[in-house]
Amino acid sequence: MSLSLNQVGTRGSGLIRPEGVMALDDGSLYTADARGRCARVDPDGRTIFFGSLGGLPNGICIDAEGNCIVANIGNGEVQSLSPAGSHTVLMTEAHGKRMMTPNFPFVDFAGRLWVSNSTDNHDIDASLQSPSPDGCLVVIEQGMPPRIVADGIYFANGVALDAREEYVYVAETMQRRVLRYRINKDSSVGGAEIYGPETLGRLGFPDGIAFDEAGNLWVTFPAANAVGFIDPQGRLDMYIQDPQGSVINRPANICFGGKDRRTAFIGSLGGTNIPCFEVPHPGMRLVHQKSSREA
């Protein structure tokens, strides 16, 4: 199963490092922008920038109230950005430890916010050149301080939960694999399990991850300029590859939107717009998206 590059469209313009992307039910997109802000891309492609976040906005998600949750890897803050442009800080530390590099946030249907913190080293390039198991996963529950629930991760990156919210999944970039952890009733997690292949290949450094309704875990591979998925049997299928980075330039995140959530939208480290293409199965619904019956 694969897609050719001529089947890829784009949305928006003038973006810089739109690493995180999220699709809204009204057809618009939210993206991160390297100039310390976010952008809204309307269905007609008009791009409007908003917010003054500082740092380097990275992964994003949207909560049930429509706020954009931003993992700001540049200033070590997890921020909640309202559509009007004001923001509050949700996290800077967990268990008394400074979270230097929040990478990706995920809000689940139980109201919990899961956040990966890639490394203790604020110098991201140095941490990628000399990886160490200093990444972690944090959970934030309403009325409770942030707490570290998993650690020892070699550059913790994208985060996703399955449809039953039984497991939380984390891309362990510098080990070229995906980990998963069973979620306990108290929102602690069990031990790490490798999900899918032991290694995702020579250039298989996973970044963003997201499930579709068929149980496929989609994965972006910035070093390979490729997007694939791990199927429910644990096999990796590469869906689209762009070796020259002509359309998909260092893909970093993936989300699903459009009619029946059958369109994938790709955040990237090197692009100035949002590539998009059709996928075989609807994306798994997120907390800010309506079900088909509600639409």
CA distance 20 to 24: 13
Arithmetic mean of pLDDT, 4-33: 97
The distance from CA 291 to its chain's CA centroid, rounded to whole angstroms, is 21
For 180, residues 6+ apart whose C-beta sits below 8 A from its C-beta are 167, 168, 169, 170, 192, 193, 195
- Domains of the chain, start order: 5-278 (2.120.10.30)
> What are the DSSP E strand ranges found in 83-192?
87-91, 93-94, 97-98, 102-107, 113-117, 135-140, 147-153, 156-161, 167-172, 177-182
In this predicted structure, what is the pLDDT of residue 292?
60
In this predicted structure, what is the pLDDT of residue 130?
96
Intra-chain end-to-end CA distance of the chain, in Å: 30
CA distance 181 to 164: 13
pLDDT tops 80 at residue 39: yes
Q: pLDDT class for 71, splitting at 50, 70, 90?
A: very high
Arithmetic mean of pLDDT, 184-212: 98
Q: What is the pLDDT of residues 153-162, one digit of tens each?
A: 999 999 999 9
The distance from CA 125 to its chain's CA centroid, rounded to whole angstroms, is 19
Contact 140, 90 (CB under 8 A): yes
Q: What is the pLDDT of residues 119-147, one digit of tens each?
A: 999 899 999 999 999 999 999 999 899 99
CA-based angle 236:237:238, to the nearest 5?
120
Arithmetic mean of pLDDT, 188-206: 98
Contact 200, 161 (CB under 8 A): no
Arithmetic mean of pLDDT, 14-18: 98
pTM for this model (two decimals): 0.97
Q: pLDDT class for 291, splitting at 50, 70, 90?
A: confident
Report CA-CA distances (Å) from 204 to 3, 118, 161, 170, 232. Answer: 19, 17, 21, 14, 19
Q: pLDDT class for 32, splitting at 50, 70, 90?
A: very high
In this predicted structure, what is the pLDDT of residue 2?
82
